[in-house]
């Protein structure tokens, strides 16, 4: 993990990125969009909860989680701002199928939570996306 954390890139950045990357690879773009609109566009949780049909408490939980991992609000904003484009263009590796989830990499129907599956079984993919995001973030800073 430490290898991809260059100068100025803290563990917090990596941890909050990982949280977002796992969600997107598991097929959840809604949380990413909602977090972006909350953190960058200043949209209120109640509006977003209605727009994306996420429970208000659930959404507040996601927001809290990503800020906690980032360490503070400003780092969370930075992470979402610099990674949003990359994350939006990702192709999820898990897709929804009738009755559950299917992993396109393992070629099987999942018996566990899709995010947990991605986090545990596809660390290489997750880390690759994280380092792509960090590379892009560094470039945009200079």
Q: By the criterion CB under 5 A, which residues form the site for Zn ion?
A: 103, 105-106, 121
Distance separating alpha carbons of residues 86 and 83, to the nearest angstrom: 5
Q: What is the DSSP letter of 93?
A: S
CB 79 within 8 A of CB 16: yes
Question: Please, what is the minimum distance in Å from the beta carbon of residue 121 to Zn ion?
Answer: 5
24 vs 48, which CB is nearer to Zn ion? 24
**Which SS3 state, helix, strand or coil, does residue 101 take?**
strand
Question: Please, what is the minimum distance in Å from the beta carbon of residue 114 to Zn ion?
Answer: 9
4 vs 125, which CB is nearer to Zn ion? 125
Question: Please, what is the minimum distance in Å from the beta carbon of residue 106 to Zn ion?
Answer: 3
Question: Please, what is the minimum distance in Å from the beta carbon of residue 14 to Zn ion?
Answer: 22
Name the pairing type of β-strands 94-97 and 100-103.
antiparallel
Distance separating alpha carbons of residues 81 and 75, to the nearest angstrom: 10
With CA atoms as reference, report the closest residue to 64 among 28, 38, 40: 38
49 vs 127, which CB is nearer to Zn ion? 127
88 vs 95, which CB is nearer to Zn ion? 95
Distance separating alpha carbons of residues 96 and 47, to the nearest angstrom: 26
């Amino acid at each position: 993990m430490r290898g991809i954390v260059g100068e100025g890139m803290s563990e917090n950045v990596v941890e909050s990125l990982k949280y977002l990357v796992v969600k997107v690879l598991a097929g959840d773009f809604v949380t990413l969009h909602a977090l972006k609109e909350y953190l960058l566009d200043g949209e209120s949780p109640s509006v977003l909860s209605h727009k994306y049909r996420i429970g208000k408490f659930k959404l507040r939980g996601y927001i809290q989680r990503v800020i906690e991992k980032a360490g503070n609000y400003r780092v969370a904003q930075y992470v979402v701002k610099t990674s949003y484009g990359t994350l939006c263009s990702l192709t999820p590796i898990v897709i929804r199928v009738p009755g559950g989830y299917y992993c396109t990499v393992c070629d099987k129907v999942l018996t566990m939570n899709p995010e947990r599956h991605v986090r545990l079984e596809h660390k290489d993919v997750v880390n690759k996306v994280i380092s792509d995001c960090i590379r892009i973030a560094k470039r945009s800073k200079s």
